Amino acid sequence: MSDLVAAATAANWETEVEKTDALVMVDFWAVWCGPCQMVAPIVEELAKEYAGKLKVMKLNTDDVPDVAGKFQIMSIPTILFFKNGKPVEKIVGARPKPQFKHVIDSLLAQHSATA
């Protein structure tokens, strides 16, 4: 993981995701998941492009199964977007970068309109 993508753990989940009002993108993944490996470079690129606007985290579902279970993550990769600690959008499966950007831009526009 890069400086811009933090590891989500059971220990930091509450402070980093649930108790922040920032828009947070969490990539639920696992080491053995091929599509997750395909999405990983896109997640890194998005973290760079949206630095300062979007917090990006990765949660290894093998290491933190309780959190994955809490949000009923059945397939990986799953990208969940959180605002004010609540899930607001979900992308399941490997997708092209423009699809991620469309969702992020839409969520950021909603946030700025309500801020």
Question: Is 36 designated active site?
Answer: yes
Q: Give me the catalytic one of 23, 26, 33, 46.
A: 33
CB 58 within 8 A of CB 29: yes
Question: Is 33 designated active site?
Answer: yes
CB 56 within 8 A of CB 43: yes
Three-state SS for 71-82 is: CCCCCCCEEEEE
Q: Give me the catalytic one of 5, 36, 64, 103.
A: 36
**Spatial distance between the Cα atoms of 6 and 58, rounded to a whole number of angstroms:** 6
Q: Which residues are catalytic?
A: 33, 36
